[in-house]
Amino acid sequence: MIAITGATGHLGQLTIHALLDLGTPAAEIVALVRDPQKAADLSARGVQVRQADYTRPETLGPALQGVDKLLLISSNDVADRATPQRNVVNAAREAGVKLLTYTSILHADTAEMRLAADHQATEADIRASGVPFVFLRNSWYLENYDVAQAAQFGALPGSAGEGKVSAASRADYAAAAAAVLTLPNQENTIYELGGDQAFTLGELAAEVQAASGRPVTYQNMDETAYAEMLRGFGVPAPLADKLADADTHLAKGELFTGSGDLRRLIGRPTTPMKQWVKDTLQG
């Protein structure tokens, strides 16, 4: 039995579809969701839906009954992910889960960006639990970049300078997660995952210009100005500050990898940024 948390989220949905595409029987997949009402489509496909809320430990034991392999998708509550995720790690240990796979961040052992702190805490909790693990250390999603808005306003803002990011599509990260959940001998493995071709945000802006036929430039600013701009767009202050901080660390190489782990796991080249921009703008 393979269980996926965050199954009503973007990555969770894609991972379940990737598992089904790999031939995993729907009855052997457990979708762990905060709100089962949001998972009617998964039930209709024969996937078992169980309620599991990271912040409510009493839901986690029953949800993990009979589960052999668990994918813990990191929470989207950036104020504190570590505490609720610790509940899931504890429940996995108590339920006898045989493989705990966690979506972490690239180079979690050395990353200094503030967004990495929760991932580092959860990786430490998982190691301490003694449950065999896989860390899927993901670089950025391509989907983090609002290329439609950049095409509309002619500007892609950021504070990453000339730093290169190994961003990859969510679908590619999901395919990698599904592969790990179905391959043998994955215990205590760490994957550093990113797209085959890293790029600067200037190069991304140039592709948006080429695909949209409208002038688009990368608008680099310092970290403080970028955080202020994000807040002005309605991003909550703590998240805005962490995103601007992440760009500063992107510039130092924290979101770059040349490992090739993602392409090896999915068995094909990763989706090129240029192709993703074109497909996204064509809607």
Ligand X SMILES: NC(=O)c1ccc[n+]([C@@H]2O[C@H](COP(=O)([O-])OP(=O)(O)OC[C@H]3O[C@@H](n4cnc5c(N)ncnc54)[C@H](OP(=O)(O)O)[C@@H]3O)[C@@H](O)[C@H]2O)c1
Pick from 104, 138, 159, 220 the residue near ligand X by CB under 6 A: 138
Q: Return d(Cα 92, Cα 85) in angstroms, integer.
A: 11
Per the CB < 8 A criterion, the answer to whether 240 and 248 are in contact is: no
**Rounded Cα distance, 233 and 149, in Å:** 12
Which member of 2, 3, 6, 220 binds ligand X (CB under 6 A)? 6
| Chosen residue from 75, 169, 212, 270 binding ligand X by CB under 6 A | 75
Q: Strand runs (DSSP E) across 2-153, as ranges?
A: 2-4, 29-33, 48-51, 69-72, 99-105, 133-138
**CA distance linking residue 23 with residue 2, whole number of Å:** 13
# residues near ligand X by CB under 6 A: 24
Element (H, E) at 264: helix 261-266
**Cβ distance 59 to 51 under 8 Å?**
yes
Q: Which of 3, 4, 16, 34 is the binder for ligand X (CB under 6 A)?
A: 34
Q: Which is nearer to ligand X, 84 or 158 (CB)?
A: 84
User: Does the footprint of ligand X cover residue 12 (CB under 6 A)?
Assistant: yes
**Among 11, 160, 175, 266, interactor with ligand X by CB under 6 A:** 11
Which ranges in 200-258 belong to alpha helices (H)?
A: 201-212, 223-232, 237-250
Give Cβ neighbours of residue 254 (< 8 Å, ≥ 6 apart).
106, 107, 110, 111, 112, 113, 116, 246
CB of 213 to ligand X, least distance (A): 28
Q: Is 53 in the site for ligand X (CB under 6 A)?
A: yes
Q: Find the part of the chain contacting ligand X (CB under 6 A) among 40-48, 64-72, 135-143, 184-192.
A: 135-143
Between residues 149 and 210, which has the closer beta carbon with respect to ligand X?
149
Considering only residues 204 to 263 of the shown chain, the ones binding ligand X according to CB under 6 A are none
For ligand X, the nearest residue by Cβ is 9
By C-beta, is 206 or 246 nearer to ligand X? 246
Residue 17 touches ligand X, criterion: CB under 6 A: no
Query: Residue 107 carries which side chain, given as an amino acid letter?
Result: H
Could you give phi then psi for residue 206, rounded to 5 degrees?
Answer: -65, -35
User: Angle at the Cα of 183 (from 177 to 184), degrees rounded to 5?
Assistant: 135
Q: Measure the N-to-C terminal CA separation of the chain; round to a whole number of Å.
A: 36
Using CB under 6 A as the binding rule, whether residue 144 contacts ligand X is answered as yes
CB contact at 8 A, 145 and 204: yes
Choose between 209 and 241: whose C-beta lies nearer to ligand X: 241
Least distance CB 267 / ligand X (angstroms): 21
Q: Which of 19, 29, 30, 54 binds ligand X (CB under 6 A)?
A: 54
Candidates 92-100, 133-141, 158-166, 201-209: pick the segment binding ligand X (CB under 6 A).
Answer: 133-141
Binding site for ligand X (CB under 6 A): 5-6, 8-12, 34-35, 52-55, 73-77, 84, 103, 138, 140-141, 144
